[in-house]
A and B are shown apart, each in its own frame.
Chain A
Amino acid sequence: GAVVSQHPSWVICKSGTSVKIECRSLDFQATTMFWYRQFPKQSLMLMATSNEGSKATYEQGVEKDKFLINHASLTLSTLTVTSAHPEDSSFYICSASGGNPETQYFGPGTRLLVL
């Protein structure tokens, strides 16, 4: 139980384009989903917290107009990186909680490379 999927697992795009990443909880309803970013050899940095049906809460320093988050249902949240630039290249990981309210289960991550 508590499986979270992410799609795509890898994406390479040109600078200036937008990229959408999907996060799905496969076997439980996720009341809350979280989006993280991880740079090489660094720990996870929380970008935003997303609750179903409401606006996401962004961490300080994260541009909400650049990183659009939609949590349309209890099993799906999307992160759209708009007008991506090379510095946005990173490992983006989502997590979901809901089955056990205290435990976050992570998706497999999406590696983004912006050329």
Chain B
Amino acid sequence: GQNIDQPTEMTATEGAIVQINCTYQTSGFNGLFWYQQHAGEAPTFLSYNVLDGLEEKGRFSSFLSRSKGYSYLLLKELQMKDSASYLCAVSSNTGKLIFGQGTTLQVKP
């Protein structure tokens, strides 16, 4: 079966660092994506990992361990505008994306 788990909600303080975890069990794997979605808007692409390791892109980094079925998104120097839902999605062999439920991050002053 297909299963992607991530925490439902997280809260962090402006300026801090937060790590959003994602575990997955899928019948095929062709990469893992992280998207950011603000309320009422469509998702925007943040990162893509297909090999093990850490991908850094400015304040955002994403890590993948294929053997453990595990990824995390790391957000540094949090800003108020980072308050959003963060979606973990696995690309199957057919190119379809299987989404987790999303993690709603609230950044407080």
A residues whose Cβ falls under 8 Å from a Cβ of B: 2, 32, 34, 42-44, 46, 49, 91, 93, 95, 97, 101-109, 111
* Interface of B: prevailing SS: loop
Decide: A43 and B41 in contact? CB cutoff 8 A.
no
Residue in B40, B42, B91, B99 whose Cβ sees the most chain A Cβ within 10 Å: B42
Of the four ranges (under 10, 10 to 19, 20 to 34, 35 or more), the interface on chain B belongs to: 20 to 34
Task: Say which residue of B41, B45, B94 sits within 8 Å of A103 (CB atoms).
Answer: B45
CA distance A101 to B31 in the complex (A): 11
* A102-B96 contact in complex given A93-B42, A109-B42, C-beta closer than 8 Å: no
A contact residues around B95 at 8 Å (CB): 32, 49, 97, 101-102
B residues whose Cβ falls under 8 Å from a Cβ of A: 30-31, 33, 35, 40-45, 48, 50, 87, 91, 94-97, 99-102
